[in-house]
Amino acid sequence: MNTFSLPDLSPLQRRKRSAILDGAKAVFLSQGFGLATMDDVAAAAGVGKQTVYRHFKSKEALFVGLVSSMCTQVGELLASAQNEQSDDSPENELRALGWVLARILIEPDYLRLYRAIVAEAERLPELGQVFYENGAKVVRVFSAKILRKRFDESTARLRAATFVQLVLGDAYLELSIGYAVPDVEARFALQIDEAVAAALR
């Protein structure tokens, strides 16, 4: 569900692009967008700066590419988890989806990515579109697919949005602003239980 289709790349070009994105991830998430340079990314990726520019025309384009790539990875993990639960009850499927989502998004790299997106979204409006289309919207689509087993299309979409918000809840907000959250697992267990109950009510 990636918004941006890749041009036809040779295997070598794909490896270099992957290395660049890995380098960008290391640099942007440790230094922040503002302090990061294309020289830093090139060094982290083990390629020349011109190679970075051949794949991404600017630092902004590279950051958008990183956001798109990391959101796509989340979508793939959620799809894999949903395939494993596809024959289960809606309640169990939603609970499993909630746990996968929570565990992914509270990983340090994804928390750093979210902070970086928020910090730059006003200056780079494309970021918000990429994050929504490849991240938030995809999660809601997975949730709605489960809920369509119980509800009509419009109700499933509405409840999917509510489900995702309740799964993340205050615990995710606190973590995303660097607030220490005691008993994180217990907090998310309560939020996920509430999210499932509200979605299926």
CATH code of the domain containing 21: 1.10.10.60
Type of residue at 53: Y
Instruction: Look at the chain and report how many structural domains it folds into.
Output: 2
Residue 92 near residue 200 (C-beta atoms within 8 A): no
Check whether residue 184 and residue 93 sit in a common domain. Answer: yes
The answer to whether residue 89 is domain-embedded is yes
The answer to whether residue 186 is domain-embedded is yes
Check whether residue 77 and residue 138 sit in a common domain. Answer: yes
**pLDDT tens across the length of the chain (201 residues):** 444 445 577 888 899 999 999 999 999 999 999 999 999 999 999 999 999 999 999 999 999 999 999 999 999 988 887 777 767 899 999 999 999 999 999 999 999 999 999 999 899 989 889 999 999 999 999 999 999 999 999 999 999 999 999 999 999 999 999 999 999 999 999 999 999 999 999
Q: What is the pLDDT of residue 187?
A: 97
Query: Residue 185: which domain range?
Result: 60-200
Check whether residue 26 and residue 112 sit in a common domain. Answer: no
Number of other CB atoms surrounding residue 129 within 10 Å: 13
Q: What is the CATH number of the domain that holds 109?
A: 1.10.357.10
DSSP per position, 105-121? HTSHHHHHHHHHHHHHT
The answer to whether residue 50 is domain-embedded is yes
Q: What is the pLDDT of residue 83?
A: 78
- Distance in angstroms (rounded) separating the CA atoms of residues 159 and 175: 24
Check whether residue 33 and residue 128 sit in a common domain. Answer: no
The answer to whether residue 4 is domain-embedded is no
DSSP per position, 121-188? TTT-HHHHHHHIIIIIHHHHHHHHHHHTTTS-HHHHHHHHHHHHHHHHHHHHHHHHTT---TTHHHHH
Residue 142 near residue 96 (C-beta atoms within 8 A): no
pTM: 0.85
Tokens of 100: 């996968």
Check whether residue 38 and residue 97 sit in a common domain. Answer: no
